[in-house]
């Protein structure tokens, strides 16, 4: 397993540190990204540059992808000079993007025609989890394929679970995003309320985080809001994409999720105001606008 050659596509806020962990663990790493300069640190550390996705999959035994939007996933796998063109008998692909379950199912069907297979393995934990290799990873696909790549996934995360057939990982991620939407609006409203009440925000967060309100969002994102840091651990535009998928999937199952729709609407407004590249913690700004108060 240690000599398995790994391909990696998607060197963004999440992908870059993840690729670094793989390289540091001794795996030969083959990479491609749209801007080669962004990969300079990895290349200097020993990663191999590939001119396109096809070349990545030609060289790799296992290829990981983590890109932004469903159209990016489809392009990387099924487009010209894409991963499918370089896939070979026995090669495995792990899509760690958050995308439509139906798309990963479609990609897997195409890969199987070449004797290759896909695991859908979206992650949760944001930039902090990516940097610290503590991501939660939810995996769909064949169980034997999951078992084969578990040592590799363990380089990237701590809470790694097999969810079922291809698509199950993405459905689990949708459940994750629904929870995050609810906790994000709760934390945002608490911060705006606490400031209006004249509380010490840091003390308030410290106090309630030890009780029933405790959650990842409160621990990791509330301090950023208090410090005026709206840089992305996870971009609003990507979260809007995730919530749209969750709403689409829920409607297909005959479900009505009003809380999710409310949060999605608030984030849509922030994106329309040019804040799509901000972190999801900027939801506090939408709550402030609705309340007519100054920044938290």
Beta bridge partners of 137: 123, 160
Beta partners for residue 119, in sequence order: 94
DSSP state letter for 47: P
> CB 207: neighbour CB atoms within 10 A?
12
Structural tokens at position 212: 């029933």
Which backbone phi and psi does 68 adopt, to 5 degrees?
A: -75, -55
Catalytic choice (106, 109, 113, 173): 173
Exposure on the CB side of residue 2, measured as CA atoms within 13 A:
3
Q: How many CB atoms lie within 10 A of CB 11?
A: 25
Counted residue by residue, the chain has a size of: 296
CA 41 → CA 2, 9, 27, 31, 296, distances in Å? Answer: 22, 15, 16, 12, 36
Alpha-carbon dihedral of residues 36, 41, 44, 46, nearest 10 degrees? -90
The yes-or-no answer on residue 24 being catalytic is no
How do strand 6-9 and strand 62-65 relate by DSSP bridges?
A: parallel
The whole-angstrom separation of Cα 117 and Cα 111 is 6
Token pair of 34, please?
């749209």
- Around Cβ 201, how many Cβ atoms within 10 Å? 17
Catalytically active residues, by annotation:
173
């Amino acid at each position: 397993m240690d000599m398995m050659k790994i391909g990696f596509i998607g060197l963004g806020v999440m992908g870059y540190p993840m690729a670094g962990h793989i390289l540091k663990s001794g795996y030969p790493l083959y990479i491609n990204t749209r801007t080669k300069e962004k990969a300079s640190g990895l290349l200097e550390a020993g990663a191999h540059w590939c001119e396109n996705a096809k070349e990545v999959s030609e060289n790799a035994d296992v290829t990981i992808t983590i890109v932004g939007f469903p159209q990016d996933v489809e392009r990387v796998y099924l487009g010209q000079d894409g991963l499918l063109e370089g896939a070979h008998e026995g090669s495995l692909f792990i899509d760690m993007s958050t995308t439509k379950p139906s798309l990963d199912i479609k990609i897997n069907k195409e890969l199987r025609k070449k004797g290759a297979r896909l695991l859908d393995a979206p992650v949760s934990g944001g930039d902090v989890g990516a940097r610290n290799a503590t991501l939660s990873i939810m995996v769909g696909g064949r169980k034997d394929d999951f078992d084969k790549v578990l040592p590799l996934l363990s380089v990237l995360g701590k809470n790694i679970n097999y969810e079922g057939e291809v698509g199950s990982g993405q459905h689990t991620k949708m459940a994750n995003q629904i929870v995050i939407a609810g906790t994000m609006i709760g934390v945002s409203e608490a911060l705006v309320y606490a400031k209006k009440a004249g509380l010490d925000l840091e003390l308030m967060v410290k106090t309630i985080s030890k009780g029933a309100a405790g959650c990842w969002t409160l621990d990791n994102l509330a301090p950023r809001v208090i410090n005026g840091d709206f840089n992305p651990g996870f971009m609003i535009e990507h979260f809007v994409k995730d919530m749209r998928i969750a709403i689409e999937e829920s409607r297909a199952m005959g479900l009505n999720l009003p809380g999710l729709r409310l949060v999605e609407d608030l984030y849509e407004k922030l994106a329309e105001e040019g804040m799509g590249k901000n972190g999801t913690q900027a939801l506090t700004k939408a709550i402030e606008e609705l309340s007519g108060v100054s920044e938290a």
